[in-house]
C-alpha cells in the first residue's frame, strides 16, 4: 500500500505540469478505459463502442461491447475456446457529481467443468480452480483532473473450489477453499499524460479481471502503461491500435511464493457512429 501511495503522489504532482483543456483531449486521454493496469473503473462504453484484445497466443482474445450507454458486456472468446463458461456485465449507476464519484456495479460468472491450474508452467506454485465462480463488486471513480483518475472497487467472490500449493515436497504448504465467499478490494491510479501514452498502477486483494482472473485471495501489485502509437493515423486499423504493458507481482493466500513478471496485450477500441 505504501508503494502505491508514493506512486499516486508522483503521478498527481506530475499531472499538475501536464494539464490539457477539455476540448484538446484526444487518443487515450479521451477514451473510456474499463480495467487499466488491472484496476476497476466505474465507466461504461457508449452504445456501439467496441473493444477487442488479443494476447500473443494462437487463439481468440476477448471483446467488450457497449450494449447501451449504461450496460457493457464482455465476450471472453479465449475462455469459450477452452470450454469455460464465462460472462462479465457492468452497469452504470451514477456519473460523477463534484466530490461524489461515478459508480458502477460489475459482476462476472464463470464455470470451469474440470480442475485447471491457472499457473500451469509456473515454478514452485499452483493455483487450481474448479466449478462455479461468481464475483460482485461496486466500482467508484473520481476524475481529479482532466488527466488523472482514482479508482476504488470492493466486493465479494464466491468460489466452489479453490486450491493453492507451493509444489515443495520437503516443506509442502497447501490451502483449499470449498464453497467460500471471499472479500475483494482494489485501488488504482490512472494518469493520461499524453494522447499517445498513459501510466497506471493498482494494488488489490482478491479477484481481478485480467491477469490470473477470477481468483479469490490473490494479492497483487501492478504498474504499467498503455500506448496509442498511431492515434493520428487516418487508417482505422492503426488509428485505433493500442498496447498495454505491465509488470505485475502476485501471491496467493498464505503461500509464500511470489510471482513477478512482465505481461501485456494488444487491442483495438473504436466507436460506431450512428447514421443520420
**Strand locations in 76-173, DSSP E?**
85-94, 102-117, 126-143, 148-165
Helices (H) and strands (E) in the chain, counts: 3, 12
pTM of the model: 0.88
The pLDDT confidence band at residue 172, using thresholds 50, 70 and 90, is confident
pLDDT score of 273:
67
Q: What residue spans define the domains of the chain? A: 2-271
Buried b (16+ CB within 10 A) or exposed e, 212-227: bbbbbbbebbbbbbbb
Domain 2-271 sits in CATH 2.40.230: yes
| Section 135-143 average pLDDT | 98
- How far apart, in whole angstroms, are the C-alpha atoms of residue 154 and residue 186? 6
- Which residue, among 269, 250, 270, 271, has the nearest Cα to 261 in the 3D structure? 250
Instruction: Give pLDDT tens digits for 210-246.
Output: 899 999 999 999 999 999 999 999 998 999 999 999 9
pLDDT score of 20:
47
Instruction: Give pLDDT tens digits for 74-122.
Output: 998 888 887 889 999 999 999 999 999 999 999 999 999 999 999 988 8
* Diameter of the chain measured on Cα atoms: 70
pLDDT above 90: percentage of residues in the chain: 74
Amino acid at each position: 500500500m505504501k508503494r502505491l501511495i508514493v506512486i499516486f503522489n508522483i503521478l498527481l504532482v506530475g499531472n499538475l505540469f501536464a494539464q490539457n483543456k477539455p476540448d484538446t483531449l484526444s487518443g487515450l486521454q479521451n477514451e473510456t478505459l474499463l480495467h487499466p493496469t488491472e484496476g476497476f473503473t466505474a465507466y461504461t462504453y457508449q452504445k456501439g463502442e467496441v473493444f477487442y484484445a488479443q494476447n500473443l497466443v494462437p487463439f481468440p482474445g476477448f471483446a467488450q461491447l457497449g450494449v447501451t450507454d449504461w450496460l457493457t458486456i464482455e465476450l471472453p472468446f479465449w475462455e469459450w475456446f477452452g470450454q469455460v463458461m464465462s460472462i462479465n456485465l457492468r452497469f452504470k449507476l451514477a456519473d460523477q457529481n463534484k466530490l461524489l464519484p461515478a459508480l458502477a456495479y460489475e459482476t462476472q460468472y464463470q464455470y470451469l467443468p474440470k480442475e485447471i491450474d491457472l499457473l500451469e508452467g509456473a515454478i514452485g506454485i499452483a493455483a487450481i480452480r474448479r466449478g462455479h465462480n461468481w464475483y460482485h463488486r461496486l466500482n467508484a471513480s473520481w476524475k481529479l483532473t482532466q488527466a488523472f483518475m482514482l479508482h476504488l472497487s470492493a466486493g465479494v467472490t464466491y468460489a466452489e473450489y479453490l486450491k493453492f500449493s507451493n509444489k515443495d515436497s520437503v516443506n509442502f504448504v497447501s490451502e483449499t477453499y470449498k464453497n467460500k465467499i471471499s472479500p475483494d478490494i482494489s485501488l488504482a491510479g490512472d494518469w493520461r499524460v499524453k494522447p499517445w501514452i498513459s501510466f497506471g498502477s493498482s494494488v488489490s486483494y482478491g479477484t481481478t479481471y485480467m491477469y490470473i482472473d477470477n481468483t479469490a485471495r490473490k494479492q497483487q501489485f501492478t504498474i504499467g502503461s498503455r500506448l496509442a502509437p498511431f492515434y493520428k493515423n487516418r487508417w482505422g486499423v492503426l488509428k485505433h491500435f493500442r498496447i498495454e504493458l505491465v509488470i505485475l507481482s502476485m501471491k496467493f493466500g498464505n503461500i509464500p511464493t511470489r510471482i513477478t513478471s512482465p505481461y501485456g496485450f494488444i487491442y483495438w477500441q473504436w466507436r460506431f457512429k450512428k447514421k443520420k
